[in-house]
Amino acid sequence: MDFREAVSILGDTLEPSESERHNGWDRESLTIYHAERFIAASDRILHPSPVNPASTKNRMRWLRGGLSRA
């Protein structure tokens, strides 16, 4: 993603705060980062991962008790 695409997604540029500037962020890199995070969050909301069922009926009952010796 380049800077122009990020601005078109977010609508404007983001100015880094003093602490962000201290950590090495500039206007372009911060704008690109937030645009990428926005896309990832939107994709996660629109396409959630499938949820596994809490419990299933296990027909292999012999696995539960281990091996029984007679």
Q: How far is CA 44 from the centre of its chain?
A: 6
Q: Which two tokens stand for residue 70?
A: 């007679």
**Residue whose C-alpha is closest to residue 26's, from 41, 14, 39, 44:** 14
pTM above the 0.75 mark? no
List the Cα angle 22/17/23 in 5-degree steps: 25
How far apart CA 3 and CA 33 sit, in angstroms, is 10
**Residue whose C-alpha is closest to residue 13's, from 24, 27, 25:** 27
pLDDT on residue 70: 53
pLDDT in tens, the chain (70 residues): 999 999 999 999 999 999 999 999 999 999 999 999 999 999 988 888 888 777 777 666 666 665 555 5
